[in-house]
Structure 1
Amino acid sequence: MMRGGPRMAMRGRGGGGMMRRPGVITHFPFDTGVCRDFGFEESRDTVFSDDVLQDALLKRNNELSPTPQEQGAISNLVNQVQSVLDNITVSPGSLDACTLEEVRQVGSYKKGTMLHGKNVGDIVVILRTLPTSEAVDALMDRVSEELSKLGAVYKINLTEGGFEVAQGKTASVQILVTTVHQNFGKLDPTCHLSPDLSFKRVLQLLAAGLLLPGSVGICDPCEGPHVRIQNSISAEDQDAVTSTAQTLLRVLAHGGYKQVLGFEGNSSIASVMSVWDGVVVTPGPKVYEKPNYELPSALLAQTEENSEANGDDQGTHPHKDPGFI
């Protein structure tokens, strides 16, 4: 299906104008906080006071939050590694095996959501060159050399996606190495970092609900930066994509990569129970249930009038579909 062809034709001056989007039937949920203004009395809990709940929430927050010592250790290590990588980007010196394009902090430390006991920072290094094993080794050696000049003791090890810089057991930084998107078609699994990580990551994101209602989703490359790709997918299909990704990810975890890639078997593994080395993988049930109801004629007429006044076609937006339970 050519997504660009029909849409481009409709956008021309003689093509009938902009394509209309489905209308959205909105309603405000029943909220006791708002409804107090309309005569509803405020309910009160006589079992415990708000102070007790507040104290419990603060206590739990303190248990989950990293200690000041943990925050200080990870901040110092991340800043030192970031500074070293920035200097290598600007002045690579004798580093000929690779060229750094960008260094970016990501993950829980960057977002301020790090948990107590998980003192790990994440830094993505985007190479302008191909991420060969030799390039990663050379970059790791250069980072180790620069960090040793700071006088602290570090332990650096290769990992599946790059390398890790650890300072005792107090803090560590994961260096995740990738390349610019222009090089993706040139990757060779025999000499570059394995592409299976990207394949697994795509399934993980879909299985986590990337395309479900309320998710940030993915920008539609055919529409623009403010239109999400799931806007054009029905709620039923959103549920099917998520459920299928969850099942395939479980099959993949138990060695069924040939079936997932279509080399063996058929597509029934996404919908039928299968067994992998004694482990039973059962596809999850559908969450979406298509609503079966009719609006009162008066409300339906009013909705159609509002849609026409707003220039929208009658329909239900997938993000507002009531079928998700």
Structure 2
Amino acid sequence: MEEAVRPIFDWTDVSEYFPPVSKNEQETLLAQVINRRLDEITPSAAEQALIQAFLTKVITVIDNLIVAGEGEELMLDEVLPVGSQKKGVALTGCKIADAVIIFKKPPTDVMVTNLGVRVADILNSPEANIGTGGNQSVAHRPIDRLTFQLESTDGVTVRVYATTTAPLIAKLPSDSEDALVCMAALRMVRHVRWFEENVRHPSIRQLIRLLKDLRCREETFQCLNPWYLELLCHCSTVPLHGGELLTVPQAYRRVFQLLSAGLFLPGSIGIPDPCEEEDDGIHIMLTSSEQDQLAGVAGMILRMLHHGAFRELLAEGGAMPADFRTAQLVGSVKVQPPVIVSIDSN
């Protein structure tokens, strides 16, 4: 018997039935703490320019190889920037940019390594160092199957993932490692294209940064990969039945309202992946205990938000981050940690 799929309680659908009693000064304070934390975790213009400059150099070299006859020899088709830097949601201190190279035939490790070495050689040539003082150098390093990275002396890294077109991937054995790696890289391209079409308001990018920052501190949220976090933030900022986008403080609170209401629990409609053909919610990829922990910790965060523990939740201004595994004292109120009841079967 199939499990019934159910909607969850969403206060944005019934907000007219629960009007605020009065203007809440706590919301103003939350907005101020969020803005200060965003200042702390958003890369400076100089940092972003440094990363973008190296990424542009790498992509320009590969584009030139594609245009030249050497590109045909290397079976190169296209190179595209992807990942957090392209989407504009990277955190400060993360000097890693990502790119995907699409080959004209299924790539092999030898093809990808040869390309990486060739690009590094070009970047280390005297011609490439004109105007840089002549002291720039780039190191090539294979890091995984069909993947390499280029590291500059400025501390910037560009990770390059190899793939081919979907019809060619379909011809590979579906359970082969190469097919899985190529499909994962192709998904990065689809994610960026969807993101550029649907995430145009800066408030969604700001919320993504806040959730990525929380994920770095709290292991409960590490089961959500960056793409899942981005979909969750988009869902939390955009009202279900249209209307104006929520402000960042409203959307931040709504993230935990949705999670604690069971958005990622079994039987929930969840959030479908817009880049996949299946309509299943992304939460089916999580274990039962991960789903339970997300709902439980989100409920604890909501209670702490209600009692004004903004700096502890956001770790703003050097405040000691909240520990969701132990009881937290907020003023005179003790907020208890969630009780996890799900047990994953081996």
Give TM-score, length-normalised by structure 2: 0.48
TM superposition shift of 1:77: 0.6
Of 75, 79, 100, the match for 1:124: 100
TM superposition shift of 1:28: 7.1
TM superposition shift of 1:54: 3.8
In structure 1, give the amino acid aligned to 2:168: N
Task: Determine whether 1:133 maps to 2:109.
Answer: yes
TM superposition shift of 1:57: 2.0
SS at match of 1:109: helix
Instruction: Provide the rounded CA distance (Å) in 1 between the counterparts of 2:99 and 2:43.
Output: 19
In structure 1, give the amino acid aligned to 2:143: T
Match of 1:69 in 2: 46
Match of 2:124 in 1: 148
Instruction: Provide the rounded CA distance (Å) in 1 between the counterparts of 2:68 and 2:184.
Output: 35
Q: Structure 1 residues 78 and 200 mapped into 2: Cα distance closer, same or farther (>3 Å)?
A: closer
Instruction: Provide the rounded CA distance (Å) in 1 between the counterparts of 2:274 and 2:161.
Output: 23
Q: State, as a whole percentage, how many aligned pairs show the same letter.
A: 21
TM superposition shift of 1:199: 8.0
Match of 2:88 in 1: 112
Instruction: Provide the rounded CA distance (Å) in 2 between the counterparts of 1:177 and 1:128.
Output: 11
SS at match of 2:49: helix
Which of these two proteins has the greater Rg computed from alpha carbons?
A: 1
Task: Determine whether 1:55 maps to 2:5.
Answer: no
Instruction: Provide the rounded CA distance (Å) in 2 between the counterparts of 1:108 and 1:242.
Output: 22
Verify the 8 A CA contact 2:97 2:159 in the aligned structure 1. yes
The 5-angstrom pairing of residues 1-325 of structure 1 reads 29-31=13-15, 42-45=21-24, 50=28, 52-93=29-70, 96=73, 98-149=74-125, 150-151=128-129, 152-160=136-144, 161-168=146-153, 170-187=155-172, 194-197=178-181, 212-218=269-275, 220=277, 229-230=278-279, 238=280, 242-243=283-284, 245-247=285-287, 282-283=343-344
In structure 1, give the amino acid aligned to 2:35: L
Instruction: Provide the rounded CA distance (Å) in 1 between the counterparts of 2:47 and 2:12.
Output: 43
Q: Structure 1 residues 106 and 195 mapped into 2: Cα distance closer, same or farther (>3 Å)?
A: same
Quick check: 143-152 or 106-115, which moved more?
143-152
Mark the runs of 5 or more structure 2 residues left unpaired by the alignment. 1-9, 130-135, 188-222, 232-267, 291-341
SS at match of 2:58: helix
Give the structure with the larger helix fraction.
Answer: 2
TM superposition shift of 1:219: 5.6
Match of 2:317 in 1: none
Match of 1:226 in 2: none
TM superposition shift of 1:69: 2.9
Mark the runs of 5 or more structure 1 residues left unpaired by the alignment. 1-25, 221-228, 231-237, 251-280, 285-325
Instruction: Provide the rounded CA distance (Å) in 2 between the counterparts of 1:173 and 1:112.
Output: 15
Verify the 8 A CA contact 1:132 1:193 in the aligned structure 2. no
Instruction: Provide the rounded CA distance (Å) in 1 between the counterparts of 2:11 and 2:93.
Output: 43
Verify the 8 A CA contact 1:122 1:175 in the aligned structure 2. yes
